[in-house]
Amino acid sequence: MRNAIVVVLALVLSGCCNNPSVQPTTRSKPVESMEPCVPLRVPETGTGAELAQGLQDASQLYLSACSDKRSLVDWIQRSDNIPAR
């Protein structure tokens, strides 16, 4: 009787070892979105051309920051939809 219990226990435990392991789902982080922002230039002379260039630079940096934020939000939302294991 004891031998039968040992055999059954060995079979049950060996079945657990033979199950293929489930690899965790990983998502690559949007690394380009995790870089620090480029600082804005401070106008030195205050001429109209310099101020216009500063406004254009600020607009481009703002659009880039919006795009990076959108990428991060999308990545977080996709990560939240990964089923728990």
pLDDT band at 22 (very low <50, low <70, confident <90, very high): low
Question: 24 pLDDT exceeds 60?
Answer: no
62 or 2: which leads in pLDDT: 62
Q: Using alpha carbons only, what angle is made at residue 55 by residues 51 and 60, rounded to the nearest 5 degrees?
A: 150
Q: What tokens were used for 25?
A: 């789902």
pLDDT for position 25: 60
pLDDT for position 73: 87
Instruction: Determine the Cα–Cα distance for residues 64 and 4; give it in Å rounded to an integer.
Output: 69
Query: Per-domain residue ranges for the chain?
Result: 37-85
pLDDT digits (tens, 9 = 90+) for 26-85: 667 777 777 888 888 888 888 999 999 999 999 999 999 998 889 888 888 887 776 655
